[in-house]
Amino acid sequence: MAGFGAGGMVCVVLVVIVVMPGHVSAIVFPSPVPEENDADYWYRTMKEELQEALELRHNNKIAKNIVLFLGDGLGVTVNTAARIRKGQKAGWSGEEGYLLWDRFPNMALLKTYNLDKQVGDSAGTATAYLTGVKGNYETLGVTGRVGPKDCKASLNPANRLHSILKWAQDAGKYTGLVTTTQVTHATPAGLYAKSAHRDWECDSRAIRDGADKCKDIARQLIEDDPGRNIRVILGGGRQEMGAPIDENAPIRCPRQDGRNLAEEWRAEKERHGEKTAYVTNTGELLSIDVNSTDYLMGLFTEGKMPFYVDRKVGPDGTPTIPQMVHKALGILTKAENGFFLLVEGGHIDKALHRNQPGRALEEAVQMEESVLLALSSLDLDETLILVTADHSHSMTFGGYPARGNHILGKITNEHVTDGLPYTPLMFTAGPGYFHTWDGTKVQRRNITDVDTTSMDFVALSAVPTIVGEEPHGGEDVAVFAKGPMSHLFHRVHEQTYVAHVMAYSACIGPYQYACRRPTYTDHRDLEGHAGDQGHSHSLDPTTAYQGLAGHQGHIEIQDHTGTHDHTDHQVHVDHQDHSDHPNHTTESYQGHSSHQGQSGNHGQLYQKNHTEHKAQSSHQDHINQTDQGHSDHQSQSDTMDHTEHTEPHEHTEPHEHTEPHEHTEPHEHTEHQEHSENQEQTDYQGYSSHQNRTDIINQTNIADHEATSHPTDHTEHQDHTDHEDQTDHESVSEGSGSVDQNENVGEFKTAGNEDEINIMKSDAESETENIADENNNEITATVNEDDIKENESTDELKVTDGVDESEGSASSRDSLSAD
């Protein structure tokens, strides 16, 4: 097969039938790494990955912003399949690629059970990761003392829980939610509702269950704290809110009280002098001027929004999740004290409940594009970004397909007794069950002539259910983390741990006055290490952390009782994880300075390690990390010039803190090594990479990112009275890059430590085709590598809209193009 990649070049994709012992499948997509058959390739790339891990530094700052991306049903199996799907959309085999969050520096596993169920639902799990307390199946925002539909118990104040949304608002932060389901659905409702049942989205549902004394979820969103204080509310659910709906819309959850809560919300905000907007389609959303909008509500459908592949495009249609996220960030980033945003990719779950893996994987890829938008728009030095799931599904992935087999394709296996083909992705239960009895044996569905790559294909399942009711999976789900305190995710955790890490990272809620941060002092023997200035110190097993080789500092805990923002001007150690040492306090195990100068954690696709291989590629995703091959660019944002002192160094003045805090002892530096952190680093692709730069790549259906680089605002510096040259060790030179623009739009602030974003482009060929198919109305991103100006630092990346907008100042008049 032949297709056109970026720049009109022809990309040839071979289809080869591979016969393995007992298995036959088609290699539709080739590997992009011809060197992978050689041992040297694996030794080289793994050494680079190991070095990258050794050079990671913890970010112990206080998070100003928190963005939680929740893939509903995005279990580990779905994540793997989505990764392959993404790569295959770019024309490659996909197994060797990555999703954006796969490259985050920290991750863990979460247990997803509810208190009364081994396998949880979206309501009970939302309660866990948003409030920090586990609840029961189908309940929201209440403790385990409240059972499903127990209205009376849910009204007891002792059983009602506050969420991360409330904690953020109490700290003066803006808040928002974006979802592809109803804004009253289980996941978003977990932010603001206290309800004995997730189905009570409208009053008629509560009345049906005899719970007329309990306020329905939609009313809680509009009338009660913290729902009524949410700045951005985008999703579906006009019917639940009592807003006008199409006369032909199915009746799912009507309001019995006849109220139009959306109109009441708008009127109430305007009575208080707030600049408010209510929108119902893509065109209206994209026309919003974020500079003149304080509160935004968008209800785009009567119920849940349509799947990405099924939506109506154009101004009168429904927006994509990246479009909604773009506008949400435009409003929320105006907050002086930062913000919290929940983004739910809700249709991953909906598709899997229907045994339709094709639709589910497309939804996951769309969610990834919204993650890319956040990574390119926000200061990652002060923003905690999490990507996780509430639960898994019963989808399995197996069957020995050949490398490069279409992830939605088929395979035959001589060991299968009925001799029929099957798909790598199948379900243990669901509506895909199709068996008949031929008089002697059970016969399953013959899919030989069925197009299993169709979005409408219903995959095989072993146990029948009604349509839409494939069950959840009960295994652990992953959480991927980046930003301040993200290293706190480090093993298998209870799902409730997510809320506590978010609150601790931002010093809000239960951790408002208890978010201590460690600092590190080097107490190594001066004589034994005089002149050592590298990273390869091997300590005696009897010294410094009892033989934890490489741990080079002692930890002194500072009790930060306020929301004090630490800059990177801390005492630095080279090593990262002290958590296993029994003598460490809870707060001291983080074991890193705040320096985040390592990049290469956000590349998307493929380990391509030779510049000649890069040159051979006809796809732009081989060269999306524009300056990866320039090994002469060695400067990093975490370059630290620690001149060595032979005498103990004392800080004669304590830190100045805006909030009261406690120093357990002054910092003493017996030695400061010169950490040559500006050494050449290679990213996971194998190219020597310039680290102080954001390489934003071309993604299908996502806006060009217009961003202005801002170095991190260091609001506090330790007073090194005898060590003055350390005060500028965090200086970051600014560079600029330009991206061709179709229209004049505003700018988003690019991350202060953009060196951490090395993002590969996922789908050049597919993007070209999509642009043609949708008449340039989709969001597209293009990067002209020739326009990227290196200045050993950050790039400006501009966000481009396909719809004319006038949004005030250049810092915020952003939008994504209509479909």
Catalytic residues: 122
Q: Which residues contact 656 (CB under 8 A, 6 or more apart)?
A: 716
Q: Which residues contact 273 (CB under 8 A, 6 or more apart)?
A: none
For 592-663, where are the E strands, in sequence order?
A: 649-650, 661-663
Q: Which tokens is 739 given?
A: 């991206």
Task: Return phi, psi of residue 191, to 5°.
Answer: -75, -35
Give, rounded to a whole angstrom, the gap between the first and last alpha carbons of the chain.
29
Task: Return phi, psi of residue 6, to 5°.
Answer: -65, 145
Residue carrying structure tokens 């680089």: 709
Half-sphere exposure of 468 (CA within 13 A, CB side): 2
Half-sphere exposure of 432 (CA within 13 A, CB side): 28
Task: Return phi, psi of residue 758, to 5°.
Answer: -120, 100
Edge to edge, the sheet with strand 23-27 lists: 16-20, 23-27, 412-413
By CB neighbour count within 10 A (0-12 exposed, 13-18 middle, 19+ buried), where does 354 fall? buried
CA distance 191 to 226: 8
Q: Which residues contact 659 (CB under 8 A, 6 or more apart)?
A: 560, 561, 562, 563, 564
CA distance 349 to 20: 34
Give the relative orientation of helices 357-377 and 76-89 as an angle to the nearest 10 degrees. Answer: 80
For 332-415, where are the E strands, in sequence order?
A: 339-345, 383-389, 392-393, 395-397, 412-413
